[in-house]
Structure 1
Amino acid sequence: MTDRKSLFKNLEALASQAPAIVDLFNTEPNRLDRFVMREGPLRADFSKQAISGNALDALLDLAAKCHLEEWRAKLFAGETVNTSEDRAVLHMALRGVGGTKDIQDDVNQMRRHMAEFADEIRAEGKFKSIVHIGIGGSDLGPRLVSDGFEAMAEQALTLRFAENVDGASINDALSGLDPKETLVIIVSKSFGTQETKMNGLSARAWLSESLGDKAGEHMLAVTANRERAIDFGIKTENIFDFWDWVGGRYSVWSAVGLSLQIAYGPDVFSEFLEGAEAMDMHFRDQPLQENLPVMMALTGIWNRNAMGYSSLAVIPYSRRIRKLAAFLQQLEMESNGKGATRDGEPAGMTCPVIWGDEGTNGQHAFFQWLHQGTGLGGNGGAPVDFVAVLKDHENRPEHHAALLANCFAQSEALMIGKPEAIVRKELGDRADIDALAPQKTFPGNRPSTTITLDELSPFALGHLIALYEHKVFVQGVIWNVNSFDQWGVELGKVLATTILDEMKAGETGHHDASTTALMGLVT
């Protein structure tokens, strides 16, 4: 059995002696050769992390001793890596990598069916708008990708999303649309998710009000529970399947992406799948020391377990992928936000809090804290993943140059800071210098990774998302947690259903005093 505690203790010892990041560029003249990696259209610069060459060697040794290569082989072989639910994890099969021949045959059949259906809808011209109803993995992935496709796609249909049980969500999605020209796609693996079912019922009522019995011709379902979809009233020929081995937060590559195919065309979606497939093969085939997802994961392990950072800021300097942080919150925190190992033991420090916003908006909000804020263990701020697109897709070259300049400047400023000696020299002989100088001092030495995409093509977007997916898997192996269940999500669903039933019946049930009082506020 791997003694992870002693391995992490070794990392902590190295971290306590870590030199300033800026000094590593002087002591390691070939630093960029080892800490910058490129795969296809994606370049990742890890050189501004507080990781020396020796520390990286220790991290690679940690990965090897946690049997990462063996776990990676199990993943791609389709063996059971979701141990608590006794399932294989085969979302890579959706883009053509891994899985048995039977699984690949099923996937290829579904992909052909989706593409033919999307082409037929687009050619027919009957529908001008699509309303995609889902929540969690059935919403966050398609929503992120839809924004990204807008950068380069042509002839897109109007695509709107309804996710929240709050009535404003479905109202906003339907507002101003013509029911005669609207296609509603209900996406739910179980077809029992409360939010999705309620929004689906409201959308059906909206269609029926104008279309009567023909409303069913405007509704599709994507689900792993065909029987429930039929009970809901979806026609059999309008149901698209996906499988138990597809986790919700890994499902955008499946029929969950049907709305994307219809809105932007099957060719665009196929390119998106190809980008993910290329990252799959890189992760599967490259040795650990040359493996981009492994490097991403080890950087996060260092910051979380050795440096003690409790969060990671993700800042996309591209409005078209502004939902990246929200998408990664589910991907990373639902996957690895676990307190128990696969063996039922306390897990120690696992997934950090993922948060962020688009640049440059964040600079005028929380970057103050990133530069000068305090944190646990003496480490201020948080590590940052900067994500930028090098090509200007908006035909605004001056805007784009300013956007990139801000991105690159922020990563440099976080690293170099501004020493108090320089501040004092600038302030001169001011009487309040002793009070003011510390306030204008920036400690620096705050780590970041900068990821650049050559362009925001569907291929590059697939590449980026798959990179983070595999990063999550690697970290789960090293923390020894199951990255593919989500018991914490299920608990809240059960309690919400109980409380809703009690509120409808005018009862309060057996709850604590606070919850009972809150239920009493609802009339």
Structure 2
Amino acid sequence: MSQTPHNQTPYVDRDAHFAKLEELAGVAVSIETLFKTEPNRIDNFVMREGPLRADFSKQQISAAARDALLSMAAGCQLDEWRAKLFAGETVNTSEDRAVLHMALRGVGGTHDIQKDVEAMRKKIVKFANRIRKDGVFKNIVHIGIGGSDLGPRLVADAFEASAEQALTLRFAENVDGASVNDAVKGLDPKETLAIVVSKSFGTQETKMNGNAVRAWLTEALGDKAGDHMLAVTANRDGAQEFGIPASQIFDFWDWVGGRYSVWSAVGLSLQIAYGPKVFAEFLKGAKRMDEHFRDQPLAENLPVMLAMVGVWNRNALGFTSQAVIPYARRLRKFSAFLQQLEMESNGKRITRDGKEAGLTCPIIWGDEGTNGQHAFFQWLHQGTPGAPVDFVAVLKDHEDRADHHRALLANCFAQSEALMLGKPEWKVREDLGERDDVDTLAPQKTFPGNRPSTTITLDELSPFALGHLIALYEHKVFVQGVIWNVNSFDQWGVELGKVLATTILSEIENGDAGDHDASTAALMALLK
């Protein structure tokens, strides 16, 4: 393993690798042609791991381009970086931290870290089982934002597919008063447990919502309101200053990034609402993907392939965005979850060396299918420049509506085919026949096709499969960070707006006129 200090990056000639990708992109043929010239394309571009199958064959990547991408991954020392990650070495160089969220799933970390994780897990399991058995609390209000909200919210939706005995789980995330109002609407305070989740316990939105829920509880319960509030944090002192007793605080650690924290005590509300056994299966699914990523060679490694396809689309083909479309309503938050995971991790313009980076993370966006077909799919099919799509589908029907499920999957599979094949102008003209306006109308009804997509299918939407899927994308982010030479585990870009918001709020509340640009000053004056 390289002995380069963790605050320096070993020299890698990335320019040569990117130049090779650009050369191959310049001679790329259509996806449809690749299917004709590469008879083993399905065998070479479809990968399966556990309950997950990923079909990359509809990407505009030839066998030669795939080999160049794998060569690039090796040349950028991905093997060495991967070893550092799992060994618990400092890969978050700007904050001088290891990155050990895999330890929450039982992979990596020192003996002491695993002891801490196991102790916290046992504490949570015991507590969650007691709450579920006692039956006093029937409602959980989870208060958090960002990673303290998106992960638990996504998982809660998905757990509903197989939940047998679930408590009511609500979320309050936005500082907009509607968020907390919706969270507590119709709930009985005597049957409600509030969990305030904040790594730093300094997040404005979370503290305001926590205070609002505490006031709601106090109005109904008086002094007993405190018995209905818990905290999950890496800042125990901050939680106690907020008014949460030490015995009602569940810890996680500074080596757990917020967007990677659902596996930790941040998932306490999930364990109470759905049961620790369900959550344990979720952890097992992620652990299996961790082991696959750690142990498999680059050419047979699913997260590596997913990541390098993204590098090809971004850096060789020049796409500016990536759509993620889950054809599963219970994964409807997946696109939003990935927006934070990918864009907060790799949305960087400066490398680990403090230099200007090239093209890094594309815009991540999407919505559930089939809703998107009646909205932005027009742009995907005929807009400029279009975007690669990750389709995510579940093969098993969990809703006891087989006809609905067949129609859902038919739409998913049809869209990927339509994006690839398009509809040529000669075919449009043939369909239109002899019309006076054919020269005007035919180009408008032509679909260019050759628009790339990946289709990921899960055998079922089990907690295990969900953990498998989320961990896949976590490791994709890490791989792309290595290729682009950015630190995927800090988020300095989040801070400036938060600092200015605190200043402006103080000035609004105190009636002060601070030093601002004319536009901001005029906006603040609207509140006087």
Q: TM-score, normalised by structure 2?
A: 0.98
* Residues 1:521 and 2:526 aligned together: yes
Q: Which residue of 1 aligns with 2:424?
A: 419
Q: Please point out which of 23, 37, 40 is paired with 1:30.
A: 40
Alpha-carbon distance between aligned partners in 2 of 1:10 and 1:39, rounded to the nearest angstrom? 30
Q: Please point out which of 75, 84, 95 is paired with 1:74.
A: 84
Q: Which residue of 2 aligns with 1:206?
A: 216
Q: Which residue of 2 aligns with 1:46?
A: 56
Q: Please point out which of 38, 53, 64 is paired with 2:74.
A: 64
Task: Give CA-to-partner distance per residue, 1:273-321, whole Å, 9 cap, x none.
Answer: 0000000000000000000000000000000000000000000000000
The one-letter amino acid of 1:392's match is: D
* Residues 1:224 and 2:234 aligned together: yes
Alpha-carbon distance between aligned partners in 2 of 1:154 and 1:90, rounded to the nearest angstrom? 32
Deviation for aligned residue 1:16 = 1.2
Deviation for aligned residue 1:492 = 1.1
Deviation for aligned residue 1:234 = 0.5
Q: Which residue of 2 aligns with 1:456?
A: 461
Alpha-carbon distance between aligned partners in 2 of 1:174 and 1:522, rounded to the nearest angstrom? 28
Q: Please point out which of 388, 398, 402 is paired with 2:403.
A: 398
Task: Give CA-to-partner distance per residue, 1:1-35, whole Å, 9 cap, x none.
Answer: 11212211210110111110011111110111110
Q: Please point out which of 122, 136, 139 is paired with 2:149.
A: 139
* Residues 1:370 and 2:375 aligned together: no
Deviation for aligned residue 1:491 = 1.0
Deviation for aligned residue 1:203 = 0.4
The one-letter amino acid of 2:268's match is: L
Alpha-carbon distance between aligned partners in 2 of 1:462 and 1:16, rounded to the nearest angstrom? 38
Deviation for aligned residue 1:454 = 0.2
2:372 is paired with a residue of what secondary structure? Answer: helix
Task: Give CA-to-partner distance per residue, 1:369-426, whole Å, 9 cap, x none.
Answer: 0000012xxxxx1000000000000000000000000000000000000000111111
1:97-496 map, 5 Å: 97-375=107-385, 381-496=386-501
Gap runs ≥5 in structure 1: 376-380
Deviation for aligned residue 1:508 = 2.1
Alpha-carbon distance between aligned partners in 1 of 2:375 and 2:23, rounded to the nearest angstrom? 35
Alpha-carbon distance between aligned partners in 2 of 1:231 and 1:305, rounded to the nearest angstrom? 48
Alpha-carbon distance between aligned partners in 2 of 1:12 and 1:514, rounded to the nearest angstrom? 43
Deviation for aligned residue 1:80 = 0.1
1:183 is paired with a residue of what secondary structure? Answer: strand
Q: Which residue of 1 aligns with 2:99?
A: 89
1:312 is paired with a residue of what secondary structure? Answer: strand
The one-letter amino acid of 1:266's match is: P
Q: TM-score, normalised by structure 1?
A: 0.99
Deviation for aligned residue 1:329 = 0.1
Alpha-carbon distance between aligned partners in 2 of 1:224 and 1:53, rounded to the nearest angstrom? 46
Alpha-carbon distance between aligned partners in 1 of 2:19 and 2:379, rounded to the nearest angstrom? 29
The one-letter amino acid of 1:510's match is: D
Task: Give CA-to-partner distance per residue, 1:24-54, whole Å, 9 cap, x none.
Answer: 1111101111100000000000000000000
Q: Which residue of 1 aligns with 2:6?
A: none
Deviation for aligned residue 1:204 = 0.4
The one-letter amino acid of 1:123's match is: K
Alpha-carbon distance between aligned partners in 2 of 1:296 and 1:7, rounded to the nearest angstrom? 18
How large is the Cα RMSD of the aligned pairs? 0.5
Alpha-carbon distance between aligned partners in 2 of 1:146 and 1:87, rounded to the nearest angstrom? 30
Q: Please point out which of 25, 29, 48 is paired with 1:15.
A: 25
The one-letter amino acid of 2:484's match is: W
The one-letter amino acid of 2:236's match is: R
The one-letter amino acid of 2:437's match is: D
Gap runs ≥5 in structure 2: 1-10
Of 307-316 and 24-33, the range deviating more from structure 2: 24-33
Deviation for aligned residue 1:62 = 0.4
Alpha-carbon distance between aligned partners in 1 of 2:251 and 2:501, rounded to the nearest angstrom? 27
Q: Which residue of 1 aligns with 2:7?
A: none
Q: Please point out which of 498, 501, 504 is paired with 2:506.
A: 501
Alpha-carbon distance between aligned partners in 1 of 2:47 and 2:425, rounded to the nearest angstrom? 35
Of 5-14 and 63-72, the range deviating more from structure 2: 5-14
The one-letter amino acid of 1:386's match is: F
Runs of 4+ that moved beyond 6 A: none
The one-letter amino acid of 1:126's match is: V
Alpha-carbon distance between aligned partners in 2 of 1:275 and 1:71, rounded to the nearest angstrom? 23
Deviation for aligned residue 1:366 = 0.3
1:222 is paired with a residue of what secondary structure? Answer: strand
The one-letter amino acid of 1:426's match is: D
Alpha-carbon distance between aligned partners in 2 of 1:34 and 1:427, rounded to the nearest angstrom? 39
Q: Which residue of 2 aligns with 1:378?
A: none
Alpha-carbon distance between aligned partners in 1 of 2:21 and 2:480, rounded to the nearest angstrom? 15
The one-letter amino acid of 1:292's match is: L
Q: Which residue of 1 aligns with 2:3?
A: none
